Amino acid sequence: MTFELRKRLAEEKGFNLIPRAMAISSSSWELPLVAVCQVTSTPDKQQNFKTCAELVREAARLGACLAFLPEAFDFIARDPEETLRLSEPLSGNLLGEYTQLARECGLWLSLGGFHERGQDWKQTQKIYNCHVILNNKGSVVATYRKTHLCDVEIPGQGPMRESNSTIPGPSLESPVSTPAGKIGLAICYDMRFPELSLALVQAGAEILTYPSAFGSVTGPAHWEVLLRARAIETQCYVVAAAQCGRHHEKRASYGHSMVVDPWGTVVARCSEGPGLCLARIDLSYLRQLRQNLPVFQHRRPDLYSSLGHPLS
């Protein structure tokens, strides 16, 4: 099926496909294809699953090897109490449904931010914001628990106190090998901390993923700028699946899911509303760029190894 035909069929269903911005040969169709899903989660977990499952199945039909879902793909609650009540362990029913979905569709899934009741749930009565990677057999191959919690007050957007219900993760996760490349795991607010992305690329990451639920004020100001900056400074692909629209009377998200290549070019972008976009991952292009512009060989950790400490 030609790209033009795929594009027309996808657009008829409300999806948005954008080819790579740079010129590539006909062999590009042999490159791994990834799908980035954009949804509007609500407190209704089963309806959210139905929406995500439809997008994942569409991604599989279009030939993707890996589909990315945003932060809070499972639900977005109205308050911390509802968040805790709706949360589940990784061994719960909801993740079991996604395990079956990955197996059914035969593709990998990046589940960008699962409200996880960890092993310390009984003691803490708090959860983790957990990024889960499933392989095409439905097995959990990696988990990352969000290390930077979003406790901010943005005028016009309302206060966010993620720590009211969530515990910060204790560590980073080593990049995981997938059919699209080695993926470094992060979540939303993590993108504001370049130290994390640099640590992941130094550990071997070729793709950084930032599943998110960005707000309506910070989104237009910072979303694309931060994603492109992370791609340029790490010379990685950046994949950012996003929540969009109004979740309930208390919260809305910016959307604009996208894929950025290692040069900083946005090569795929979702339209308004729920849907998906597709991009091909060209690791030979990534390696050539790193060879032509060898910034990691030029770094001076002797001068700025203390970066990351609080301001004095």
- What is the tens place of the pLDDT at every residue in 84-126? 999 999 999 999 999 999 999 999 999 999 999 999 999 999 9
Residue 312: predicted pLDDT: 59
Indicate the pLDDT class of residue 21, thresholds 50, 70 and 90: very low
- Taking Cα atoms as reference points, which of 152, 156, 155, 164 lies closest to residue 188? 152
Mean local confidence (pLDDT), 162-177: 96
Give the pLDDT of residue 269.
97
CA-CA-CA-CA torsion sign (106, 285, 233, 279): negative
Q: Is the pTM of this model over 0.95?
A: no
Give yes or no for a contact between 126 and 165, defined as CB atoms under 8 angstroms apart: yes
Every domain of the chain and the residues it spans: 33-297
Mean pLDDT computed over 179-190: 98
Annotated catalytic residues are 71, 146, 188
Q: Of how many residues is the chain composed?
A: 312
At 290, is the pLDDT very low, low, confident or very high (cuts 50, 70, 90)?
very high
Q: Does the domain made of 33-297 have the CATH classification 3.40.1350.10?
A: no
Query: For position 124, what pLDDT does the model report?
Result: 97
**pLDDT tens track for 239-259:** 999 999 989 988 889 999 999
Confirm if 176 and 153 have CB atoms less than 8 A apart: no
How high does pLDDT run on average in the chain? 91
